[in-house]
Amino acid sequence: MDIATIKALSQPIEQLLVRKNLRGMQHVLPALEPDNYWRAANILHNSQDNILIGTGFPVADTFETDGPVGAIALYNALKDIGKEPILVCGKPLYDALQKDFTCFELPVGDIATAPQFAQQTLALLTPSAIVSIERPGLSEQGRYFNMRGEDISPCCACFDFFMTLAQCPTIAIGDGGNEIGMGKVKPAIEQLDIMPSVTSCDELLVADVSNWAAYGLIALLSRLNEKNLLAQIAPRSILSYLSQLGSVDGVTKKNMLTEDSLCYSEGEDIIKQLHTLCELS
C-alpha cells in the first residue's frame, strides 16, 4: 500500500465534492487545510474502539434524507473493516433506525443539560473517534436554526458537546454553514446567507451534499484497506429504506428519493466518479 499515492487522492476528492457549489462550499474549501479528507479517513482507519456517528436534521416533524444516508453508508463500511460504529441521534430518527443498527439516543429539546449528558455518555461509550454528519450546530445565540433562518431548537437533539468535550479526534461534515463543525471556518461561513454554527471540530469536511462527503471518506478507506467499500453503497436503496420510515427531503420537505432536492442518481454519479478517481475495481 503506497500511502503517498492514497494521500494524493484527498485534494481531488475535496474538489470533486464541491464542484456544483450548491450552497457556497466551494468558497469555504480554501479556508480549510488541504488533505482534510485524508486526515479524517486516517483517523477512522486507526480507531480501535467505538466510533460515534451523529446524524439527523429535523425537518417538518421528521428527519431529512441528507445525513442519514451517508451515516448508514459509513456505518456499514466501518463494520465491514472490523470497526464498532454507533449511530447517535434523537427521535424520530432514533426510533426509525434502532431496530436495524446499533444506536444511542439523544434527548430532544434540552440544550441546558446537554453538556452533562454528553460528558456522561462519552465516559460510558469511550469513543476513539466521533463523526458528525449533517447535524444542526449551535449558533452564537445558543440556538439551532435551519437553512431558512427558522429557530428549530425545540425539535433538535444536541450533539455539539460530544464534539467539544471529547478527548478523541472529531470529524464533522456539512454543506451549508449551520451544521456542527462550521465554527472551524467562522470567517468564511459569515459570508453566506445562513445563521452559522459556532461549534468546531478537529477535521471539517465540506461537500455539496453532506452524504457525498461520507462517500469521499469511504473511498479513501477503501484504498487504505485494499477493499472496495464504495461498491456496497446503494443510494436509491438507502433512500427507499428511509422513505418507508418517514424521511423527507430537506429542501422540498417531500417524502421522495431525493437529497437536498437532487435525485438519488446524483449520488450514484458521485460514487462512480470516486470509483474512477480512486481506481477502485
Ordered by where they begin, the domains of the chain are 3-278 (3.90.1640.20)
* 3-class DSSP assignment, residue 122: helix
pLDDT at 202: 98
pLDDT at 1: 58
* Residue 201: pLDDT over 80: yes
Mean residue pLDDT of the chain comes to 96
Q: What is the mean pLDDT of residues 110-131?
A: 97
Distance CA 200, CA 275 (A): 30
Query: Given pLDDT bands bounded at 50, 70 and 90, which one contains residue 162?
Result: very high
* Residue 246: pLDDT over 80: yes
pLDDT at 190: 87
Total-model pTM: 0.97
CB atoms within 10 A of CB 148: 9
Q: How far apart are the first and last CA of the chain?
A: 16
Instruction: For the chain, give the percent of residues with pLDDT over 90.
Output: 96
Query: Given pLDDT bands bounded at 50, 70 and 90, which one contains residue 101?
Result: very high
Between helix 36-46 and helix 210-225 the angle, nearest 10°, is: 60
Q: What is the mean pLDDT of residues 134-161?
A: 96
* Residue 241: pLDDT over 70: yes
* 3-class DSSP assignment, residue 257: coil
Instruction: For the chain, give the percent of residues with pLDDT over 70.
Output: 100
98-108 CB burial, b ≥16 within 10 A, e <16: eeebebbbbeb
Rounded to 10 degrees, the C-alpha dihedral 204/214/17/7 comes to 70
| Nearest to 177, CA basis, from 211, 148, 214 | 148
* Residue 281: pLDDT over 80: no
Distance CA 218, CA 77 (A): 7
Distance CA 49, CA 160 (A): 21
